[in-house]
Structure 1
Amino acid sequence: MMRGMGNMNNMMKQMKKMEKQLAEEQKVMEAKDFTGVSPDEMVKVTFAGKRVMTDMTIDPKAIDPDDPDMLSDLVLAAVNDALGQIDVEGKQTLDKYSNGLPK
């Protein structure tokens, strides 16, 4: 066996182990729920970690027939809040495994 091959094999084993751990953490995250809220919590949405909306609650006070744009803005704010949480958690998980790797 050539010098350095043992190190390469160990490195490959470590990479496979890290890959498996990352896949497990992604499964856990995908099973988690993320709740986004609008200002004044008039609209709440829940997303699964897979970025699929699973629930929405709208406070009746948010439904103004003369101002449908307000409700749209509240829904957008709540959805973006939840998706932002998913992005942050996903990045934190990836960063754990990419720390020290060349960019």
Structure 2
Amino acid sequence: MAKGKGKFQMPIGGRMGGMAEQLRKLQEDMLAAQEALGQETVEASAGGGAVKVVMNGHLRLVSLAIDPEAVNPEDVEMLQDLITAAVNEAIEKAQEMAAERMSGFTAGLKIPGLF
């Protein structure tokens, strides 16, 4: 070790203190944005509106509406396909909404699987 050199010590306050405060604020803002996503919803439909789905930003199914005329006991697979299509579309929309809301926090970083 060079003479007069010891362990590195972090400066107290100054730039590092300001950075820590910025990180704390960023974390608070991110948590608030994530919480708000639970209150925001997207809507999707399939079969010309025969099946309608509402999903929140946490990818939770809020409601599912099926037009009674879409229910045919002879063709249950058709109804299953409509439900699947509507739910998948709602998931895509909710993911896009979440990515849009959170994009400011990631500042253009592409983190696989984050949103």
Shorter chain as normaliser: what TM range? Answer: 0.7 to 0.9
2:80 matched to 1:84? no
**1:72 deviation in Å?**
0.5
- Which has a greater percent of helix? 1
Structure 2 CA distance for partners of 1:41 and 1:3, relative to 1, 3 Å: same
CA distance in 2: counterparts of 1:93 and 1:53, whole angstroms: 19
| Structure 1 spans left out of the alignment, 5+ residues | none
Which 4+ runs in 1 deviate beyond 3 A? 1-5, 100-103
Q: Of residues 48, 51, 54 in structure 2, which corresponds to 1:40?
A: 48
C-alpha distance 101-37 of structure 1, shift in aligned 2 (>3 A): closer
Aligned to 1:28: 36
- 1:15 pairs, out of 7, 23, 44, with 23
Unaligned runs of 5+ residues in structure 2 are: 1-8
Is contact 2:33-2:102 (8 Å) kept?
A: no
1:53 aligned partner, one-letter code: L
Aligned residue for 1:50?
58
1:66 aligns with 2:62: no
Taking a change above 3 Å as real, the CA distance of residues 66 and 93 of structure 1, as seen in their structure-2 partners, is same
1:74 partner amino acid: L
Number of residues of Structure 1 aligned to a counterpart in Structure 2: 103
Q: Give TM-score, length-normalised by structure 2.
A: 0.75
Root-mean-square deviation (Å):
2.4
Instruction: Report % sequence identity.
Output: 27
Give the number of the structure whose alpha-carbon radius of gyration is greater. 2
